[in-house]
Amino acid sequence: MRPPPPRRLALLTLLLALTAVRAGAQQTLFSHSPIPNNATRVTAEALFSRPAPGGFLPVRVTVVNKTKDPATLRFDTQSNDSGHYRGDSGRLDSSFTLEAAAERTTSQDLLVPVVTSSGASYYGSGSNTRITMSGDFGRMTGSLSSSYATDQPALLMSESLHTPNASKLDSALSSRSSSHRGSSEFAARFNPLRMPEDWRAYGGFDGMILTDDDWMKVPAPARNAILQWCRLGGRIGIRTLNASSTLSSLGIGETGGREAEYGLGRIELRSIAASLELDPATMLDRYQAGRIPVLNQSLRSDYSGSWPLYSSFGKRGFNYAIFVVVLIAFGILVGPVNLFVFAKSGMRHKLFVTTPLISLGTSALLVLLILLKDGLGGSGSRAALVEVRPGSGENAAYILQEQISRTGVLVGGSFTLGDPAIVHPVPIPDSPWARLTANSHEGGRYKATPDGGDLKLSGDWFQSRSEQGQVIEAVVPTRGRIELRPGSGDQPVLVSTFDFDLDEVFYTDGDGRHWHATELKSGQPARAGALSGQLFNTRLREQANRLGQRHRELLTDRLPQRNRYFATSRGGMMIETFDAIDWNEDHCLITGPAVTP
């Protein structure tokens, strides 16, 4: 066979090089050699090939310091909402510091915050996330972008499945979607050997697809983080070459089955051929459609329409009249009265004194009126769905919290969350007080910096004289649980070990019978009474309807399940945010397996 002509060969080489860059180097944000003829190098690499539409992007920074001096490096990050087209995009900033010891290699994983897309955009949503290094080794910048259709799930796929399937999956996705609706990339790619060990790195994604071999390659701390993310509503799809593989054989729980509800999420095992080829139509049907909205769609639409918490919080009018009267009075004073009374003819030089005094007095009056009318601080309401997992080394509560607040005058706005969490600002219904809505002309300016297990926040999370909504995902330790104690007859006796009172507890036993108890105080046994299945489902729906759509569907999709309870509390396991807000109404919905001590 004749070799291709030189021009064609050059073109082929160029195409292969571009393909290699796209496939292999897409995750590298930058690789910097600051000193000529020295092996010192700083590399920043995203562990996923593209960011989720919110949450965090895990970035691994490796510093090979071949100098004899320690180095201090600063990393400033900025994530912009590239799907926001009506004005200024939303922005989320962060900063990190890394100390690189002399003549050593230092590696550190950074959780880079990714802005939550909020504006109603015809083009879907997405972000551009940039990281800039400065300090002793110079300056370097790299970035990574993503785009998603509004209803497109954010998925992760292991390299072993991505390589043989990505092209076909992307083509199938593109043919189903209009070109304006977002990305035609089905899933982001990851290397199972290099996975982050913090669940927040996965928090913006809806699902993960990998093989059983990939799962066993994931380091144990990273596997635990993935399972924590799954408890919060994530979906894990494992493709197995061995049809006899079970969840227990892969070290996931104690069930011997091939699929299971896992907290508020789900894990499924499916067989795959040795070629590792996936059927595009089947994959799209499985992940693109469903009763439970994808996270991106939920954050953009669940809270800007008929949000139950917002409706119960109530509206407040905006009184323009008093301010109009003050401004009219100011105009009269600073104009004709000032000119013809305070600084009349022959005394015009007094204008240099009277005009500033009138302006300062009016400003002081306006501030006083605002303080009297709106006050300091603010008030709000919260609702949370909490999955509690006692024992088995977990003893953790997985919290999905919604909150709405209305503020008066605020002094400052910074706060720190003491538990690992993700905070999403969400658009709320239009009102004179609403800062962020689906029709906003500009996004907010936020800052969020992970600091160990804490999360430090500042910026526009809470603003003076505003209504703002947030959704919080968090994992916190707890020893609380519902225990089953022996009782007379077949009526179960329930004991709560939570450190707060429970208003009601609904319990489904191992035989599928439903039970109900009220006013459970910590450590005090309560005998449950029988409840019909119809009444159980009705009461469950009533409580679930206090939540936004995605959280409501996550709950009702799991219940009733045998040997599982559902409890309500007007306090309980809320994530505390800005301490200037008085949370006047809390509603906590707690679910999990009942245990026998």
320 or 71, higher pLDDT? 71
Amino acid identity for residue 404 in this structure: I
C-alpha span between 103 and 113 (Å, rounded): 31
Q: Residue 48: what pLDDT?
A: 97
- Work out the average pLDDT over 504-516: 92
Q: Which residues in 296-311 are b (16+ Cβ under 10 Å) and which e?
A: bbbbbbbbbeebbbbe
With beta carbons less than 8 A apart as the criterion, state whether 588 and 572 touch: yes
Question: Between 561 and 429, where is the model more confident?
Answer: 429
Where residue 290 falls (left for φ over 0; alpha for ψ -120 to 50; beta otherwise) is left
How buried is 597 (Cβ within 10 angstroms: 0-12 exposed, 13-18 middle, 19+ buried)?
A: exposed
Q: How many CA atoms lie within 13 A of 351 on its CB side?
A: 13
Yes or no: say if 246 and 269 are a contact pair by the CB < 8 Å rule: yes
The pLDDT mean for the chain works out to 86
pLDDT interval class at 376 (50, 70, 90): confident
Looking at the chain, the number of H-run helices and the number of E-run strands are: 11, 29
The answer to whether 146 and 169 are in contact (CB under 8 A) is no
Give the Cα separation of 443 and 425 in Å (integer).
Answer: 10
N-to-C CA span, the chain? 77
Q: Report pTM.
A: 0.87
Q: How far apart are CA 403 and CA 468, in angstroms?
A: 8
pLDDT band of 364, cuts 50, 70, 90? confident
**How far apart (Å, rounded) are the C-alpha atoms in residues 96 and 572?**
34
Neighbours of 81 (CB within 10 A): 26
Percent of the chain residues past pLDDT 90, beyond the cut: 58
pLDDT above 70 covers what percent of the chain? Answer: 88
Q: What is the pLDDT of residues 291-339, one digit of tens each?
A: 788 998 899 889 988 899 999 998 776 666 676 777 787 778 777 876 7
pLDDT in tens, 409-423: 888 889 999 999 999
CB atoms < 10 A from the CB of 187, how many? Answer: 27
- Are the CB atoms for 587 and 546 separated by under 8 Å? yes
Closest of 356, 359, 376, 365 to residue 323, by C-alpha: 365
Q: Which residues of 529-559 are buried (b: 16+ CB within 10 A; e: fewer)?
A: eebeeeebbebbeebbebbbbbbbbbbbebb
pLDDT of 88: 54
Q: What is the pLDDT of residue 83?
A: 55
**For domain 149-301, which architecture applies?**
3-Layer(aba) Sandwich (3.40)
Residue 478 to residues 388, 396, 495, 506, Cα–Cα distance (Å):
8, 5, 16, 21
CA-wise closest residue to 4 among 15, 18, 22, 167? 15
Per-residue pLDDT at 10: 41
Q: Are 533 and 470 in contact (CB under 8 A)?
A: no
For position 2, what pLDDT does the model report? 43
> Over 70: is that where the pLDDT of 82 sits?
no
Residue range 58-70, pLDDT digits in tens: 999 999 999 999 9
Q: How far is CA 233 from the centre of its chain?
A: 12
